[in-house]
Amino acid sequence: MTTTYHLSANELSVDFLKSVKSMYKGKIISITVETEMDETEYLLSSEANRKFLLESMKQAEKGELINVNIGKTNKNERG
């Protein structure tokens, strides 16, 4: 059986640990702690993304922007 809890380190408490202990009473369990990447860390995690994003930021700073009408669909663009 696998159970995954997603919570902030600040949410860990004695009560949480007691409830885990109670749910798995008498069983051997494994506890793995890993941090989740935020969106920026994820987007900068590959070299290709990093270069693309940094170049895009430079273009935005220079005012080199593209206006996009999100409400416009391909059907409308064809006329």
Cα(31)–Cα(69) distance, integer angstroms: 48
User: For 56-76, how does the pLDDT look when each residue is reduced to its tens digit (9 = 90+)?
Assistant: 999 999 999 888 888 876 655
DSSP structure class, residue 4: -
* Domain residue limits, the chain: 9-65
**Looking at residue 27, what is its pLDDT?**
94
Residue 78 has pLDDT above 60, yes or no: no
Q: Of 73, 51, 55, 72, nearest to 64 (Cα)?
A: 55
pTM summary value: 0.45
DSSP structure class, residue 52: H
